[in-house]
Amino acid sequence: MLIDTHAHYDHKRFDCGRYSLLEEIVSSGVGKVVNPAIAFDSNYVMRKFFDGFPWIYYAVGIHPNCLGEENAEQDTKWETELRELAEDSKTVAIGETGLDYYRVQDTEMRARQRVWFHKQLEIAREIKLPVILHIRDADDEAVQMLKEHPLQHSGVVHCFGGDTARAAEYMDMGLFLGIGGRITYPQEEAVRNAVRQIPMEAILLETDSPYVKPKEAPGSRNTSLNLMEVVKAISDLKQLTYEEVITITTGNAERLFDFQD
């Protein structure tokens, strides 16, 4: 059984043929999917779509790029409702949360990202859930915050794209690394070399559907049907069989997330 630890099937790019695709995915051997929130409203939208799919689980949170301007009343509401949603039996993580400075130069917005990153780390700690981390062009600050606010239930660095030294830094904090389609591109040598070096016990499979499509995958959007392309790339880099990659990464995901079957 394959586990896709990061996909967004509530995204509008799946509005056409969403349910037939999900049937195809589960028939292909993908046994579980974790669907993290992006914008706050997605915490509710995904429940509307997927409460009837016992193999799709939720991560609740707010992506750092979806926070908008500070609004005390709204922020209080968001925090209260995230805590309530985090208690749901299908919720297996907090996220995706973190820091994304790629397009954000404004110091106030970066500060707001840090405030909400801290809030969501606190929720994860209080409710005893792992976190799904979105870190882009902000690794040094993210690492510092994680050291100041240590996780009690681990987590995963989603869409890891760093080098071996950065991988070691995250693994030293007990974090898993989410590995997806980018390792299928030869120009991504830093992360490909990191995957060669790190232990399999630190790796989770993900697609980030509909984003980060593997190099040879068909179509314009990524889906969990392409998860085997990631397996093949890891197998090649680490000189393991497909079965070994699947067995180890599935076990890793089941250790991190408390899936309620």
Domains of the chain as residue ranges with CATH: 2-256 (3.20.20.140)
Length, in residues, of the chain: 261
The pLDDT-based confidence of 89 (bands split at 50, 70, 90) is very high
The pLDDT-based confidence of 260 (bands split at 50, 70, 90) is confident
What six digits make up the tokens of 236? 């090649």
The residue to which tokens 């979806």 are assigned: 66
pLDDT of residue 208: 98
Model's pTM, two decimal places? 0.97
CA dihedral 148, 153, 156, 162 (to 10 degrees): 40
Given a cut of 80, whether residue 49 has pLDDT beyond it is yes
**How far is residue 87's CA from residue 64's CA, in Å, rounded to a whole number?**
22
pLDDT of residue 184: 97
Check the CA dihedral 208-211-214-216 and report its sign: positive
Name beta bridge partners: 95. Answer: 132
Do the beta carbons of residue 127 and residue 83 sit within 8 Å?
Answer: yes
The pLDDT-based confidence of 252 (bands split at 50, 70, 90) is very high
The pLDDT-based confidence of 112 (bands split at 50, 70, 90) is very high
What six digits make up the tokens of 17? 């043929």
Tens digit of pLDDT for each residue in 118-151? 999 999 999 999 999 999 999 999 999 999 999 9
Given a cut of 90, whether residue 152 has pLDDT beyond it is no
Within the chain, residue ranges assigned H as helices are 18-27, 42-50, 72-86, 107-127, 139-148, 164-172, 189-197, 227-238, 242-256
pLDDT of residue 99: 98
Given a cut of 80, whether residue 261 has pLDDT beyond it is no
Can you tell me the mean pLDDT for 95-106?
94
